[in-house]
Copies of this chain bind each other. A is one copy, B any other.
């Protein structure tokens, strides 16, 4: 395979995930990832700053598409509708191919706190992109930050359900359902928290 293959990035991501799951994140080298992808180390470093970044390439795309979705929402959209618009626009990134990768990434992150840390940093940046987009629509500071946190939680829950489901329901359907579940609970934060209420 040519080292100039246009799909080098995807091949490196797939090779890295396979190796991380097979041999562990710690014991996998960049050289091995490049070799498995049929590329060389220099090509790896043209696409990713380090070994951890190869796991999180999609996150930067997500931050941008969430923000685009929020900007494009109707002027009188509720905060929940803005978040739904964000998730709808993320459907392009959250493909069935990504669904398989997501499950591998969960395995890798569960075994390595360095990977978890990088994942959390990426999540914080996505949350920052969501709250910035909400502020630009006129939401106040606290509302924008709350919207970002609720949105990120809805996103996590939706990813878990999407990975665990055996049908091919597209990601935005899971995201809308998770968001709706959270909105109901958010309205009841002042109600008794136990199951008997």
Interface residues of A (CB under 8 A from B): 75-80, 82, 113, 116-118, 120-121, 123-124, 134, 137-140, 142-143, 145-147, 149-150, 152-153, 157, 181-183, 185-196
Task: Assess whether B193 is in contact with A137, with CB atoms less than 8 Å apart.
Answer: yes
Q: A153 to chain B: which residues have CB within 8 Å? A: 145-146, 149
Q: Shortest beta-carbon distance, A4 to chain B, in Å?
A: 31
Residue of B nearest to A82 (CB): B193
Task: Assess whether B157 is in contact with A142, with CB atoms less than 8 Å apart.
Answer: yes
Q: What does DSSP make chain A's interface, helix, strand, loop or mixed?
A: helix
Residue of B nearest to A120 (CB): B120
Q: A185 to chain B: which residues have CB within 8 Å? A: 142-143, 146
Q: A191 to chain B: which residues have CB within 8 Å? A: 78-79
Extra contacts besides A150-B189, A186-B187, A187-B187 (11): CB < 8 Å: A78-B191, A78-B192, A80-B189, A116-B121, A120-B120, A120-B121, A142-B185, A145-B157, A146-B150, A146-B189, A150-B186
Residue of B nearest to A114 (CB): B117
Task: Assess whether A189 is in contact with B193, with CB atoms less than 8 Å apart.
Answer: no
Given contacts A124-B120, A145-B157, contact A193 B139 (CB under 8 A): yes
Residue of B nearest to A124 (CB): B120
Q: Compute how far the CA of A162 lies from the CA of B132 in the bound complex, rounded to whole angstroms.
A: 23
Q: A121 to chain B: which residues have CB within 8 Å? A: 113, 116-117, 120
Q: A142 to chain B: which residues have CB within 8 Å? A: 157, 181-182, 185
Q: Shortest beta-carbon distance, A181 to chain B, in Å?
A: 6
Task: Assess whether B146 is in contact with A196, with CB atoms less than 8 Å apart.
Answer: no
Q: Compute how far the CA of A100 lies from the CA of B104 in the bound complex, rounded to whole angstroms.
A: 42
Q: Compute how far the CA of A152 lies from the CA of B150 in the bound complex, rounded to whole angstroms.
A: 12
Q: Shortest beta-carbon distance, A149 to chain B, in Å?
A: 5
